Structure 1
Amino acid sequence: MNWLPRWLRHYRRADLPGDVSAGVIVTLLLVPQGLAYALVAGLPPEAGLYASLLPLLLYAFSGGSHAQSVGPMAVTSLLVAATLSRLAAAGSDDYLLAAIWLALLSGAMLFLFGLLRLGFLADALSQPVLAGFTAASALLIVLSQLAPLAGFRAGGASLPDIAQAFLAHVAALNPLALLLGLIALLLLVLARRYLASLLHALGLASGVARTLSRTAPMLVVLGGLLAVTLAGWQSQLPVVGVVPGGLPALRLAALPSLGLAPLVMPSFFIALINYVQSLSVAQMLAAPRRESIDPDRELLALGLCNLGAGLSGGFPVTGGLTRSVVNADAGANTQLASLITAALMVLLLSTATALLAKLPLAVLAATIIASVAVMIDFRTLRAAWRTERADAVAFAVTFLLVLALGVDAGIVAGVVISLSVWLMRSSRPHIAVLGRVPGTEHFRNVLRYHTEPLPGVLLLRVDESLFFGNARHVGNAIQQLAAASPDSHSLLLVMSAVNRLDMTALAMLERLDDGLAERGIRLHLAEVKGPVLDVCKRAGLAARFDGRLHLSTHIAIQQLCPGSDYQI
Structure 2
Amino acid sequence: MPHSKSNNLRLIEFFPITGWLKSYTRQELNSDLFAGTITAILLVPQGIAYAIMAGLPPQLGLYASILPPVTYALFGTSRTLSVGPVSIAAIMIASALSAPEISALGNPVQSALMLSAESGIIMLLMALLRMGGLVNFISHPVLTGFTSGASLLIIGSQLPQLLGLKAPSCGVELACYSEYLAGIVPATLLIGLIAIGLLIFFGKPLVFILKNAGMQPYLITAISKCGPLLTIMLATLAVAYFDLKAQQHIAVVGNVPSGFPKLNFDFSPIEKWYALLPYSGFIALIAYIESVAIAKVTANFRGEKIVPNQELIALSISNLTAAVSGGMPVAGGFSRTMVNFAAGARTQMAMLIAAAMLALAVIFFSPWFANIPKAALAAIILVAIIPLVKLSDIIHTWRYDRGDGIAEAATLLGVLVYGIEEGIMLGIILTLISHLRKTSQPHIAVVGRIPGTAHYRNIKRHQVETWPHLLLLRIDESITFANINYIEEFINAELSRQPDLKHIVLIFASISDIDTTALEILENLNHSLQAAKITLHISEAKGPVLDKLEKTDFIKQLQPGKAFFHTEDAVRELSKDGALSL
**Are 1:457 and 1:561, in contact at CA under 8 Å, matched by a contact in 2?**
yes
Measured in 2, the distance between the counterparts of 1:97 and 1:470 equals: 51
Measured in 2, the distance between the counterparts of 1:467 and 1:441 equals: 29
How far is the alpha carbon of 1:198 from its aligned partner? 2.8
Partner of 1:377: 390
The C-alpha deviation readout for 1:261-285, integer Å capped at 9, x for no partner, is 3322322222222222111111110
Decide which of 144, 169, 190 is 2:201's aligned counterpart. 190
Partner of 1:475: 488
Decide which of 534, 543, 548 is 1:521's aligned counterpart. 534
SS in 1 for 2:93: helix
Establish whether residue 403 from structure 1 lines up as the match of residue 416 from structure 2. yes
Decide whether aligned partners of structure 1 residues 25 and 465 sit closer, same or farther in structure 2, where only a CA change above 3 A counts. Answer: same
**Are 2:468 and 2:579, in contact at CA under 8 Å, matched by a contact in 1?**
no
Decide which of 548, 560, 567 is 2:574's aligned counterpart. 560
Once the two structures are overlaid, the 10-residue window that deviates more, 187-196 or 439-448, is 187-196
Partner of 2:427: 414
Once the two structures are overlaid, the 10-residue window that deviates more, 482-491 or 204-213, is 204-213
Once the two structures are overlaid, the 10-residue window that deviates more, 305-314 or 342-351, is 305-314
How far is the alpha carbon of 1:455 from its aligned partner? 4.3
How far is the alpha carbon of 1:82 from its aligned partner? 1.5
Partner of 1:250: 263
Measured in 2, the distance between the counterparts of 1:306 and 1:329 equals: 26
| Unpaired segments ≥5 residues, structure 2 | 1-7
Decide which of 82, 86, 98 is 1:73's aligned counterpart. 86
The C-alpha deviation readout for 1:282-328, integer Å capped at 9, x for no partner, is 11101121222222222222222222222222222211111111001
- Report 1:426-465 matches (<5 A): 426-465=439-478
Measured in 2, the distance between the counterparts of 1:108 and 1:66 equals: 24
SS in 2 for 1:5: helix
SS in 1 for 2:465: coil
Partner of 2:3: none
Decide whether aligned partners of structure 1 residues 140 and 552 sit closer, same or farther in structure 2, where only a CA change above 3 A counts. Answer: same
Partner of 2:306: 293
SS in 2 for 1:528: coil
SS in 1 for 2:448: strand
Establish whether residue 550 from structure 1 lines up as the match of residue 561 from structure 2. no
SS in 2 for 1:145: helix
**Are 1:245 and 1:353, in contact at CA under 8 Å, matched by a contact in 2?**
yes
- Report 1:33-432 matches (<5 A): 33-87=46-100, 93-154=106-167, 169-235=180-246, 236-256=249-269, 258-432=271-445
The C-alpha deviation readout for 1:90-144, integer Å capped at 9, x for no partner, is 6984322222222222222222222322222112222122112111211111111
Once the two structures are overlaid, the 10-residue window that deviates more, 36-45 or 199-208, is 199-208
Measured in 2, the distance between the counterparts of 1:166 and 1:285 equals: 45
Measured in 2, the distance between the counterparts of 1:555 and 1:250 equals: 74
How far is the alpha carbon of 1:248 from its aligned partner? 3.4
Measured in 2, the distance between the counterparts of 1:84 and 1:522 equals: 67
How far is the alpha carbon of 1:420 from its aligned partner? 2.0
The number of residues matched between the two structures is 562
- AA at the equivalent of 1:143: G
SS in 2 for 1:260: helix
How far is the alpha carbon of 1:415 from its aligned partner? 1.4
Decide whether aligned partners of structure 1 residues 53 and 482 sit closer, same or farther in structure 2, where only a CA change above 3 A counts. Answer: farther
Once the two structures are overlaid, the 10-residue window that deviates more, 553-562 or 86-95, is 86-95
Q: TM-score, normalised by structure 2?
A: 0.90
- AA at the equivalent of 2:118: L
**Are 1:248 and 1:313, in contact at CA under 8 Å, matched by a contact in 2?**
yes
Decide whether aligned partners of structure 1 residues 226 and 484 sit closer, same or farther in structure 2, where only a CA change above 3 A counts. Answer: same
How far is the alpha carbon of 1:379 from its aligned partner? 4.3
Q: TM-score, normalised by structure 1?
A: 0.92
How far is the alpha carbon of 1:145 from its aligned partner? 0.6
How far is the alpha carbon of 1:211 from its aligned partner? 4.6
The C-alpha deviation readout for 1:370-394, integer Å capped at 9, x for no partner, is 1111111234224324433333232
Once the two structures are overlaid, the 10-residue window that deviates more, 536-545 or 490-499, is 536-545
Decide whether aligned partners of structure 1 residues 17 and 151 sit closer, same or farther in structure 2, where only a CA change above 3 A counts. Answer: same
Measured in 1, the distance between the counterparts of 2:100 and 2:271 equals: 8
**Are 1:67 and 1:333, in contact at CA under 8 Å, matched by a contact in 2?**
yes
**Are 1:24 and 1:344, in contact at CA under 8 Å, matched by a contact in 2?**
yes
**Are 2:468 and 2:498, in contact at CA under 8 Å, matched by a contact in 1?**
no
**Are 1:302 and 1:318, in contact at CA under 8 Å, matched by a contact in 2?**
yes
**Are 1:72 and 1:317, in contact at CA under 8 Å, matched by a contact in 2?**
yes
**Are 2:67 and 2:355, in contact at CA under 8 Å, matched by a contact in 1?**
yes
How far is the alpha carbon of 1:256 from its aligned partner? 5.0
Establish whether residue 18 from structure 1 lines up as the match of residue 31 from structure 2. yes
Measured in 1, the distance between the counterparts of 2:176 and 2:227 equals: 31
How far is the alpha carbon of 1:155 from its aligned partner? 9.0
How far is the alpha carbon of 1:229 from its aligned partner? 1.2
Measured in 2, the distance between the counterparts of 1:86 and 1:19 equals: 42
SS in 2 for 1:500: coil
Q: State, as a whole percentage, how many aligned pairs show the same letter.
A: 38
Decide whether aligned partners of structure 1 residues 374 and 449 sit closer, same or farther in structure 2, where only a CA change above 3 A counts. Answer: same
- AA at the equivalent of 1:184: A
Measured in 2, the distance between the counterparts of 1:97 and 1:312 equals: 12
Decide whether aligned partners of structure 1 residues 267 and 452 sit closer, same or farther in structure 2, where only a CA change above 3 A counts. Answer: same
Once the two structures are overlaid, the 10-residue window that deviates more, 197-206 or 318-327, is 197-206
Partner of 1:5: 18
How far is the alpha carbon of 1:565 from its aligned partner? 12
Once the two structures are overlaid, the 10-residue window that deviates more, 480-489 or 346-355, is 480-489
**Are 1:197 and 1:209, in contact at CA under 8 Å, matched by a contact in 2?**
no
Partner of 2:515: 502
Q: Give the root-mean-square deviation of aligned CA atoms.
A: 2.7
SS in 2 for 1:340: helix
- AA at the equivalent of 2:564: H
Measured in 2, the distance between the counterparts of 1:79 and 1:297 equals: 24
